[in-house]
Amino acid sequence: MALRPLILFVIAFALGSALATTQGGDFRVESEVYLGSDTEPVFETLTLFAGDVVYDFALGDQSDRTESKEVTVLNKRLGRLVLLDAKRKIQTNLTTRELAEFTAAIRKRATDEPNSGLFSPVFTVAYEEAGRQITMTSDELTYRAKGVSPKDPTAAKRYSNFADWYARLNATRGNVPPFGRIELNRVLAEKGLLPLEIERTTVLNRKKTAAHSKHSVIWTLSNTDRRRIDQAGQMMANLRPVSLKEYWGIKTEVAAKQ
């Protein structure tokens, strides 16, 4: 990407962020992901919703919660994601259209996959209204989710939109196909819920694999959160842009979020 287009893109992105943060309804979601019966999370994120822009921070280890391994910025209005790696001092970006095309391509190839049910899952859905619990079951994929009704009526759809694109992004890293999670996101949004807990069980080659996540929602952004957003803007202005292929080639750690 040439320098002038990059500068213009960063300015547009930053202006979009500045406008978004004045609209109200901002909130934060802290997430922890666990594998199997593990009691320590394998992955933790802080996701900040500031208007139309979402900032997802992959957090460092327990000794330093201020460091982020990677920052993903989704600007829904611009239809673009930016991936920032401060350690390697690089960034890359891709459009939501590119992610959607990738998703369509892997679904098209699903007939050649041994676990094709993960690409077009047909769920039996049960909802327990009193406990706000959703169970979605198919032959190769099962979700159990417990939700909470948000204070902001727009939050469920905003979270669902981000979670859809994040699931697609994770699929580019070779993780579980996004289609089951996208369907869960749809059901959660339809019920007007944000997830508090999600359990996922996959059956691959007759072997079951379980993972679960816990989510904590706070209905405001702190001064520290605002500083994180400012830092992400500075990273977009200063980190060296590379192609998506180069970014994946350099990056060695693959992180999965349910």
What residues form DSSP beta bridges with 180? none
Average pLDDT in the 117-123 region? 87
How far is the C-alpha of 96 from the C-alpha of 175, rounded, in Å? 18
Sequence-distant (≥ 6) Cβ neighbours of residue 160 within 8 angstroms: 185, 186, 188, 189
For residues 232-256, average pLDDT? 80
Query: Residue 216 and residue 236: Cα distance in Å, rounded?
Result: 27
Of 22, 21, 63, 19, the closest CA to residue 44 belongs to 63
Q: Would the pLDDT of 258 be above 60?
A: no
| Residue 112 banded pLDDT, cuts 50, 70, 90 | low
4-47 residue pLDDT tens:
444 444 444 544 444 444 444 899 999 999 998 899 999 899 99
Whether the Cβ atoms of residue 80 and residue 95 lie closer than 8 Å to each other: yes
pTM: 0.84
**pLDDT at residue 4, as a whole number:** 44
